[in-house]
Amino acid sequence: MEDRPLAEQLRRVFGVGLDDLAGATISGEIPLPNDLINRLIAQRLAASPSAIATAVVDAQDNDNVAVELSMRGPKLLPSVRIAARIDRQPDLPHAPVLGLRWSLRGMGPLGSLAALALTWLKALPPGIRADGDRIDLDIADVLRSQGLGELLACVAALQVHTRRGAFVVRFELRVR
């Protein structure tokens, strides 16, 4: 869709806006394939001064994700493969953060060096924070960055899970 406010897009496509749907409850499940997620990540990385050159995610079963990172600048480290697991779901509107715990597997002594370098990454795209072995994704910031900030007032529940090849977003919207 175009970069227009959501209410304007709904009105253009369906002839209704969010205000026309007051009192509605909408729930569903949206699978977001790896290709879509990787395209969005690439767009955000290209638009930000991040230390990360590329990040390619691979959703796996049971809330597990593999991420391959390559860094900008001098190639002191090869690409790093990170195993992550979703361990905290957003609690909207109070705590709109999806939490993941990550680890490096199979890298031997190089893994310790890579883990140390990754903990120093502070120039991540907006809405993403890394602290120790945690990565937190602020869902509110992500929705705003995709032109969907208007949805925040309507989101009553949101969960993100994974299955092989896709992230699955389960949601409930309540239009006031």
Q: What amino acid occupies position 135?
A: I
Q: What is the pTM of this model?
A: 0.77
Which contiguous run of DSSP H or E holds residue 80? strand 80-88
In the structure, what pLDDT confidence band is assigned to residue 2 with cuts at 50, 70 and 90? very low
pLDDT of residue 116: 52
Task: Judge whether residue 28 has pLDDT over 70.
Answer: yes
| Alpha-carbon distance values, 163 to 3, 47, 56, 62, 96 (Å) | 29, 29, 16, 6, 22
In the structure, what pLDDT confidence band is assigned to residue 99 with cuts at 50, 70 and 90? very high
43 vs 37: CA distance, rounded Å? 10
Report, as an integer, the average pLDDT of 80-102: 92
Q: Which residues pair with 131 in a beta bridge?
A: 134
Task: State pLDDT tens for residues 137-146.
Answer: 999 988 887 7
Q: Where are the domains of the chain?
A: 6-174
For the four alpha carbons of 157, 1, 56 and 33, in that order, the dihedral sign comes to positive
Task: Judge whether residue 20 has pLDDT over 80.
Answer: no
